[in-house]
Amino acid sequence: MKTDFDKEELKAIEEIGDAHIGDTARTPMRPDAFALSDIEKIALIREDVEHIMHTLGLDLTDDSLRGTPNRVAKMFVNEIFGGLHPDRKPKASTFKNNYKYGEMLVEKNITVYSTCEHHLLPIVGRAHVAYISNGTVVGLSKMNRIVDYYAKRPQVQERLTMQIVKELQEALGTEDVACVIDAKHLCVNSRGIRDIESSTVTSEYGGKFKEEAVRREFLDYINLDTEF
């Protein structure tokens, strides 16, 4: 792996990182991404975190810091990046639309906890997902699980939005799926410009949702006051 970069290369890397560009809906993974077991990955990441903390000058013999490398390693593999492993992909159980519901179904305010792949800082927000059945429906909780699965990986918000729509389109056998995500990026809120008020909104519309009237109906549902 290349570790030495000249000034021009570093400048280009910084510019790409700040641009938040994603050129594909596929998470970039190496072919050997799952050659190591989770236990082996945790052991290696623990060593890397120890090295980072040591380089920063922290005393790893301190009671408060001693367990940090192991906690971080386990968190990376089992929690915040758990969505990288295909074995953790939720099964989107579908059912026949026996009650012939033909209108839009919207699951709004789904909690999003993800991680910016450029700075490895949190992305926190809400996803709003909708579809129009063509004869098949999916369990409501599965929509939340699909959002959570794709959020649990290093992400750019544009890609996350596209992945959610694509997964539901495949599960439901219809193009009529939409997703809007409104989220705060701590790489903007807590570093760099440090703008704590701004958030990022992305959308992906498929099939009938590309029609202005259908899209407007979806956005109106999102804005409904559903506080109880």
Q: What is the pLDDT of residues 147-200, one digit of tens each?
A: 999 999 999 999 999 999 999 999 999 999 999 999 999 998 898 888 888 899
Output the pLDDT for position 119.
95
Q: Which of 50, 157, 158, 163 is catalytic?
A: 157
pLDDT band at 41 (very low <50, low <70, confident <90, very high): very high
Q: Which of 50, 117, 158, 167 is catalytic?
A: 117
51 given a catalytic annotation: no
- Average pLDDT estimate for 75-89: 96
C-alpha pair distances (Å), 22 with each of 16, 124, 157, 162, 205: 10, 19, 9, 11, 17
**Contact present, 204 and 179 (Cβ < 8 Å):** yes
Q: What is the pLDDT of residues 45-63, one digit of tens each?
A: 999 999 999 999 999 999 9
Say whether pTM exceeds 0.75: yes
Report the distance separating Cα 203 and Cα 158, nearest Å.
8
Give 214's contacts (C-beta < 8 A, 6+ positions apart): 104, 132, 208
Whether 13 shows a pLDDT value over 60: the answer reads no
Q: Which of 107, 116, 128, 155 is catalytic?
A: 116
Burial of 186 (0-12, 13-18, 19+ CB in 10 A): middle
Q: Which domains are seen in the chain, by residue range? A: 7-88 (1.10.286.10), 94-223 (3.30.1130.10)
Report the share of the chain in percent with pLDDT over 90: 76
Give 206's contacts (C-beta < 8 A, 6+ positions apart): 165, 169, 175, 176, 177, 178
Q: Which of 155, 158, 185, 204 is catalytic?
A: 185
pLDDT band at 100 (very low <50, low <70, confident <90, very high): confident
Comparing 3 with 173, the larger pLDDT belongs to 173
Beta-ladder partners of 164? none
Give 114's contacts (C-beta < 8 A, 6+ positions apart): 122, 123, 124, 151, 152, 153, 155, 157, 160, 183
Output the pLDDT for position 183.
97
Q: What is the pLDDT of residues 197-224, one digit of tens each?
A: 889 999 999 999 999 999 999 999 999 8
Output the pLDDT for position 4.
59
If DSSP states are collapsed to H, E and C, what string results for the chain?
CCCCCCHHHHHHHHHHHHHCCCCCCCCCCCCCCCCCCHHHHHHHHHHHHHHHHHHCCCCCCCCCCCCHHHHHHHHHHHHHCHHHCHHHCCCCCEEECCCCCCCEEEEEEEEEEEEECCCCCEEEEEEEEEEECCCEEECHHHHHHHHHHHHCCEECHHHHHHHHHHHHHHHHCCCCEEEEEEEEEHHHHCCCCCCCCCCEEEEEECHHHHCHHHHHHHHHHHHCCCCC
Output the pLDDT for position 18.
56
116 given a catalytic annotation: yes
